[in-house]
Chains A and B, each alone.
Chain A
């Protein structure tokens, strides 16, 4: 039992790790303090607490740049991320269910096609996609971005779901089938609820990728009122140059939603990333 006792060595380890963690968060400390200091003080005393914190800078940053306010960008990011994640879950889980349960050669081939899709460089397809989306009226609006992300992240989604479904015992489904339930009922009542853990993983992984993506919205949404947060911050830096307090206020505003979400849902989040590894 001695292994897990809290000894003075454990205490030392704890202190050491806490110190290292504090060091890890130094960039965030610099971010917040610099944002509320006058522009000139940012460099002269980078570690000092601001004498007279100027929170007004956040109001100014919230106004955004010539390309729209950060509030509008936040809304766009939310709509695009939530829309894409919901579409991914709906279409991905049902597809994975079929792929996993059908099995056999066709199932394996389709599965492999999805897996390859993870490795293929989507960058190669951007210009053809842009042209096609333009013709369909899907450039510069939410629907197009949702469709784009749903397509681009479908391989990862199906991959995660399929692995999970394959490990699910069929007993419940077979029992339901014996009871005379159709496929739809079985999927919605029996399978989908069992998929909850991996649904969480899919939502978090794809959600983060979409939320943080920079290049696609830069290309597909530039010049519209629907730019997402990373593009808005980028434009902001382009316009306000080296006014670090203003830029850091914008950066802080842009990372706050994710950081907040992280603090609220960290258990689920950590499980999502580590989820597939036990055993």
Chain B
């Protein structure tokens, strides 16, 4: 008797105890009007914009609760993919538009994880420029949270304090680097060990030296008419990284610097310039609220040949398999309202979709910057008004690996492990590898 009882307890109860909580997680269904919770997953940057819009949304829809979780940037794509593969994604997920980033949403749409939003009222109002980033055929799979201009953040107080002129051309930039270095600060901060950040720098260079002269270069690459390694334009662009390194532009030990440290260097006034998308404004200010940030396009050969990449990169998508999908879609519909969209975008530090049309037409004015709460970024105004705006090339590349290889190899350019030709042929190889 004892034997049997013990056998039961050791053999079965152990398992039962472990498994008992299985059924405890039942998710409430959306339909009945009972309160539901939708879960947003995003990568960790500033939390303030999300806090604000979630509060607004919960006020407007008291029956829907919003729960948000922030995953560190470096692992966000992996965590998200694992959850989706396991059949349990968040109801709403942040991601980059297009297909060329590790966290891009279009590959997820292609794999059938995302819900088609093209029947939502706002979908037809979005600028058609966005379609390439957001659509497959006629189906739109994401909502653009904001539209950042990508350029240079600089610290005007530091320039004044060091008595150095803000550079307007690339050759001025190189001489400014020497001046600032001689005064014990870093001219340009780069997270040399973080491919996403070296990638941003290279896309700014590409805007000036590749997409500026040849706006359709990516289309030609996609058609197989050109290659990276055969392109003098790309060689010109990457040569600028080496030039900057030789001129002492970057902070000391640049090849070992991670994103967080780089951001801190800039925010604490140790470095004068930092290449970033506008949407990094909130996170940078969070590190040092007293920091003054001004903007300019990456200095090209001349001020007239300085371009800025612009794209609706930050996006939000709905999980097709979400049990509370209709509530999740309602959240996006809410965000798409022009005031809410602008509130979110402004807090993030970028334009909203509804302001983009003016940007594209070049009809933005100084007062528009003030009206949208973005006057700190009015350094981009002349470039925008002159329509020197280019796509963010990498978003439209076929897979995330090309961009990752580019970012990694730039670290190699800094350490001498890689040459320009080697980098470009690595990119060609990655382009061909299946996504």
Contact = CB atoms under 8 A, between A and B. Distances in A.
Interface of A: 40, 65-67, 87, 90-91, 94, 126-127, 130-131, 133-143, 146-147, 150, 182-185, 187-188, 218-219, 222-224, 234-235, 237-243
A239 B44 contact: yes
Contact of B69 (A138, A146, A222): A222
B261 A223 contact: no
B215 interface: no
Contacts of A131: 85-87
Contact of B79 (A126, A138, A222): A222
Given A65-B70, A242-B258, 9 more contacts: A126-B82, A141-B25, A143-B21, A183-B3, A184-B3, A188-B6, A224-B69, A239-B72, A241-B259
Nearest to A129: B86
30 contacts: A67-B70, A87-B14, A87-B17, A131-B85, A134-B88, A135-B87, A137-B23, A137-B25, A138-B21, A140-B25, A143-B19, A146-B18, A182-B2, A184-B3, A184-B4, A184-B7, A185-B3, A187-B6, A188-B6, A219-B79, A222-B71, A222-B79, A223-B39, A224-B69, A235-B44, A235-B72, A237-B72, A238-B72, A238-B260, A240-B260
A52 to B, nearest CB: 20
Interface residues of B, number: 50
Nearest to A68: B69
Nearest to B11: A94
Given A90-B14, A241-B261, A127 B21 contact: no
Enumerate the 7 nearest inter-chain pairs by beta-carbon distance, A residue then B residue, closest first: A184-B6, A238-B72, A241-B260, A143-B21, A242-B264, A182-B3, A223-B69
Contact of B2 (A143, A184, A222, A241): A184
Nearest to A182: B3
Nearest to A138: B22
Contacts of A126: 82
A130 B82 contact: yes
Nearest to A241: B260
Contacts of A224: 69
B75 interface: yes
Interface in B7-32: 7, 10-11, 14, 17-26
A26 to B, nearest CB: 21
Interface in B389-410: none
A223 B71 contact: yes
B251 to A, nearest CB: 12
A223 B2 contact: no
A184 B18 CA distance: 21
Contacts of A136: 19, 22
A51 B302 CA distance: 50
A87 B41 CA distance: 32
A157 to B, nearest CB: 13
A90 B78 CA distance: 35
A185 B3 CA distance: 7
Interface in B364-416: none
A150 B18 contact: yes
Contacts of B18: 87, 143, 146-147, 150
A223 B4 CA distance: 43
B74 interface: yes
Given A136-B22, A223-B90, A238 B263 contact: no
B268 interface: yes
A150 B14 CA distance: 11
B77 to A, nearest CB: 12
Contacts of A138: 21-22
Contacts of B287: 241, 243
A127 B14 contact: no
A196 to B, nearest CB: 18
B25 A133 contact: no
B305 interface: no
A231 to B, nearest CB: 9
A50 B107 CA distance: 51
A237 B3 CA distance: 53
B284 to A, nearest CB: 10
Nearest to B39: A223
B110 interface: no
Nearest to B26: A137
A242 B70 CA distance: 18
Interface string B258-285: 1111011100100000000000000000
